[in-house]
Amino acid sequence: MNLVFTNRFVHDLPGDPDLTNERRQVSGACYSFVAPTPVSSPQLLGFSPEAAALLDLTEEDCRSEAFLQVFSGNTVLPGMQPFAMRYGGHQFGSWAGQLGDGRAINLGEVINRQGQRWTLQLKGAGPTPYSRSADGLAVLRSSLREFLCSEAMYHLGIPTTRALSLIATGEQVLRDMFYDGHPRLEPGAIVCRLAPSFVRFGNFEIHTAHGETSLLQKLLDHTLAAGFPELSEKQERDRYLRWFGDVCRRTAELMVHWMRVGFVHGVMNTDNMSVLGLTIDYGPYGWLEAYDPLWTPNTTDAQGRRYCYGNQPRIALWNLVQLANAIYPLIGSAEALQETLGEYQRTFQTTWQQTLAAKFGLPSAKEEDFRLMERMLDLMRLHEIDMTIFFRRLAGVTGDDDDNQRFCSLFADALYHSIPASEQTALDDWLGAYRRRLNSYRLAPLQRRHQMNRTNPKYVFRNYLAQLAIEQVEQGNTALLTELLDVLRHPYDDQPDRSHLAARRPEWARNRAGCSMLSCSS
Ligand SMILES: Nc1ncnc2c1ncn2[C@@H]1O[C@H](COP(=O)(O)OP(=O)(O)OP(=O)(O)O)[C@@H](O)[C@H]1O
Ligand SMILES: [Mg+2]
């Protein structure tokens, strides 16, 4: 394995002079050096060939003993400078103080043959100075969910941190999954993640909270130089503000993507928001099945529903306000920040309207079309209609359809409940109105179907599929894990022999842990 390390984060920014691996409050530094904790008997459960290619690694490399030892944290390669980042964050709306990488360890930044740079990070590789009261480890179930979902998101075309490998450590980890006083031992695992940068909103917040303005500026200068060269080179006076505008736009685009595919992150704390607009931290996330704006997969959030599906765009804005507060000392003008925040709303609104129209296969964004679309979303919520299946099936409906199929037979696969006859009329009426709209637009059906199927995936990482794969892997069988990794590579393709993996959630999964509600315990 020939990896070339550049490690700009470490070179550009001050580290913690204390080199001991003891839990502490760190000040005056952006990170602390810390090595991964060796594990007893690592076993490779999966790897992503596409992520490996970003590091110029072949499949053979990924199956090698050296790979296993490096990405389980047992071997530190020459050139690696492992460290944990210092960051803070607002959790569930309140400032939580120092958090930091409590179980993620950055191995270093690699430059590939194309000159692209990727930071390698192990999640679950042992305690760090930021571990607080926890153990620095991760369990197999949460690591498998992170591994598969990261790559699924990438193939859906959604900005995300990537996952290179999933390795069982051979160690047991104690977790009280339901927080009910019944901890049990579970198999441990480590995911190696890749991203151009893992900097979060919370990396900036911690410096401002501690009055470390010169560090704040160093971190922002590094972020600009590393990820936004066009802003950094000219040293323009408004470059920090322009960068913030860019973060606003990227975040808005990310929210549109999540809303488009029905992804619910579950813990949108500011320490889980990437300044590159990447999806980061696959914890108690979930995929919307029956359409419901209030749905949240996170048991910890079941009461307040702060992070439910429909709230995500609003929470992203709230989080951006926290980032604006954090960089205020470098900007000095609340009006300028406020004005720039408008970029978020503008981008979200325009992009979401276009995306919604594309989901319904309607070419324009006329007022009456939006009323029609909103009406369907309302009906979907009322009648528990599977969002993913609905939109795929809708692509087959045409304006001049003379088969006049009724809604409930056409969309039977998407229904979680049978709908009483008295309530079917509203759905049939909607379908009639929709067909008339299509008719009036005279769209070529094949082209429209093709475009809709590029916007509406057939395969998403349904919660119950994740649970089935976890149960299998815990029994030593990686077949479903491998199959899911493969099918999720082409989420927009029909793949008819894989259709069972696009089916709606079976009844047994309705209230089963891991299938509908997820605990934060990971
Ligand atoms: N088992 C653990 N040991 C040590 N620290 C932990 C552990 N679990 C979570 N933390 C820390 O608690 C804070 C909030 O956790 P959260 O669940 O958002 O993140 P995470 O899933 O550990 O990691 P990431 O955001 O890097 O994906 C973070 O600082 C995180 O590092
Ligand atoms: Mg986190």
Element (H, E) at 205: helix 201-209
For residues 365-392, average pLDDT: 96
Cβ of residue 134 lying under 6 Å from some atom of ligand 1: yes
Instruction: Check residue 325 and give its pLDDT.
Output: 98
The pLDDT > 90 percentage for the chain reads 90
Instruction: Check residue 324 and give its pLDDT.
Output: 98
Q: How would you classify the pairing of strands 94-98 and 88-91?
A: antiparallel
Q: What are phi and psi of 133, to 5 degrees?
A: -95, 5
Cβ of residue 107 lying under 6 Å from some atom of ligand 1: no
Kindly identify the ligand whose nearest atom is closest to the C-alpha of 199.
1
Cβ of residue 281 lying under 6 Å from some atom of ligand 1: yes
Structure tokens at 325: 């507060």
Pocket test for ligand 1, best of 25, 83, 90, 103 (most atoms within 8 A of CB): 103
Cβ of residue 202 lying under 6 Å from some atom of ligand 1: no
* Ligand 1 atom, smallest distance to 137 CA: 1
* Ligand 1 atom, smallest distance to 123 CA: 26
How remote is the CA of residue 269 from the centroid of ligand 2, in Å?
Answer: 8
Instruction: Mention every residue, 6+ apart, whose C-beta is less than 8 A from residue 191.
Output: 122, 123, 124, 138, 143, 146, 147, 150, 163, 164, 165, 166, 167
Let me know: does 147 contact 225? Beta carbons within 8 Å.
Answer: no
Q: What are phi and psi of 319, to 5 degrees?
A: -65, -35
* 257 alpha carbon, distance to own chain's centre: 10
Structure tokens at 87: 């960051």
User: In angstroms, rounded to a whole number, what is the distance separating the alpha carbons of residues 161 and 225?
Assistant: 20
- Identify the bridge partners of residue 123 per DSSP, sorted by sequence position: 104, 191
Annotated binding site: 100, 102-103, 123, 135-136, 193, 200, 272, 281
- Identify the bridge partners of residue 44 per DSSP, sorted by sequence position: 167
Cβ of residue 100 lying under 6 Å from some atom of ligand 1: yes
Kindly identify the ligand whose nearest atom is closest to the C-alpha of 137.
1
Whether this model's ipTM surpasses 0.90 comes out as: yes
CA-nearest of 522, 500, 510 to 463 is 510
**Per-domain residue ranges of the chain:** 8-202, 238-358, 363-442, 463-509
Q: What is the dihedral of CA 170, 175, 178, 179, to 10 degrees?
A: -170
* Ligand 1 atom, smallest distance to 99 CA: 29
Each residue's pLDDT tens digit, 166-201: 999 999 999 998 888 999 999 999 999 999 999 999
Each residue's pLDDT tens digit, 128-172: 999 999 999 999 999 999 999 999 999 999 999 999 999 999 999
pLDDT at 471 over 80: yes
Instruction: Mention every residue, 6+ apart, whose C-beta is less than 8 A from residue 69.
Output: 42, 75
Annotated binding site for Mg(2+): 272, 281
Cβ of residue 284 lying under 6 Å from some atom of ligand 1: no
Each residue's pLDDT tens digit, 67-105: 999 999 999 999 999 999 999 999 999 999 999 999 999
CA-nearest of 360, 358, 361 to 350 is 358
How remote is the CA of residue 131 from the centroid of ligand 1, in Å?
Answer: 8
CA-nearest of 164, 149, 228, 166 to 194 is 164
Annotated binding site for ATP: 100, 102-103, 123, 135-136, 193, 200, 281
Nearest Cα residue to atom 22 of ligand 1: 103
User: In angstroms, rounded to a whole number, what is the distance separating the alpha carbons of residues 41 and 356?
Assistant: 48
Residue showing tokens 């913690």 = 16
Cα-Cα-Cα-Cα dihedral sign, residues 130, 133, 135, 141: negative
Q: Which amino acid is at 497?
A: D
CB neighbourhood size of 148 (10 A) = 25
Cβ of residue 277 lying under 6 Å from some atom of ligand 1: no
Cβ of residue 61 lying under 6 Å from some atom of ligand 1: no
403 pLDDT band, cuts 50/70/90, is: low
The 3-state secondary structure of 36-71 reads CCCCCCCEEEEECHHHHHHCCCCHHHHCCHHHHHHH
pTM of the predicted structure, to 2 decimals: 0.97
Nearest Cα residue to atom 19 of ligand 1: 281
Instruction: Check residue 517 and give its pLDDT.
Output: 81
User: In angstroms, rounded to a whole number, what is the distance separating the alpha carbons of residues 36 and 190?
Assistant: 11
Q: Which amino acid is at 388?
A: T
| Radius of gyration (C-alpha) of the chain in whole angstroms | 24
Nearest Cα residue to atom 10 of ligand 1: 102
pLDDT at 516 over 90: no
How remote is the CA of residue 122 from the centroid of ligand 1, in Å?
Answer: 12
287-316 residues labelled b (16+ CB within 10 A) or e (exposed) = bbbbbbeebbbbbbbeeeebbbbbbbbebb
How remote is the CA of residue 102 from the centroid of ligand 1, in Å?
Answer: 6
Nearest Cα residue to atom 5 of ligand 1: 102
Nearest Cα residue to atom 27 of ligand 1: 281
Q: Is 353 helix (H, G, I), strand (E, B) or coil?
A: helix
Q: Supply the residues annotated as catalytic.
A: 271
The residues whose Cβ lies within 5 A of ligand 2, an ion, are 272, 281
Cβ of residue 97 lying under 6 Å from some atom of ligand 1: no
Instruction: Check residue 180 and give its pLDDT.
Output: 87
User: In angstroms, rounded to a whole number, what is the distance separating the alpha carbons of residues 43 and 143?
Assistant: 14
How remote is the CA of residue 101 from the centroid of ligand 1, in Å?
Answer: 7
Each residue's pLDDT tens digit, 222-279: 999 999 888 887 777 799 999 999 999 999 999 999 999 999 999 999 999 999 999 9
Label residue 441 exposed, middle or buried (CB < 10 Å: 0-12, 13-18, 19+): middle
* Ligand 1 atom, smallest distance to 282 CA: 27
Instruction: Check residue 404 and give its pLDDT.
Output: 75
Structure tokens at 68: 């296993």
DSSP 294-349: T---BGGGTTT-TT-GGGHHHHHHHHHHHHHHHHHHHH--HHHHHHHHHHHHHHHH
User: In angstroms, rounded to a whole number, what is the distance separating the alpha carbons of residues 28 and 120?
Assistant: 24
Cβ of residue 101 lying under 6 Å from some atom of ligand 1: yes
How remote is the CA of residue 461 from the centroid of ligand 1, in Å?
Answer: 22
Pocket test for ligand 1, best of 83, 281, 307 (most atoms within 8 A of CB): 281
How remote is the CA of residue 520 from the centroid of ligand 1, in Å?
Answer: 10
pLDDT at 374 over 80: yes
Each residue's pLDDT tens digit, 410-469: 999 999 999 999 999 999 999 999 999 999 988 889 999 999 999 999 999 999 999 999
Cβ of residue 136 lying under 6 Å from some atom of ligand 1: yes
Q: How would you classify the pairing of strands 162-175 and 43-47?
A: antiparallel
How remote is the CA of residue 459 from the centroid of ligand 2, in Å?
Answer: 26
Residue showing tokens 């893992």 = 198
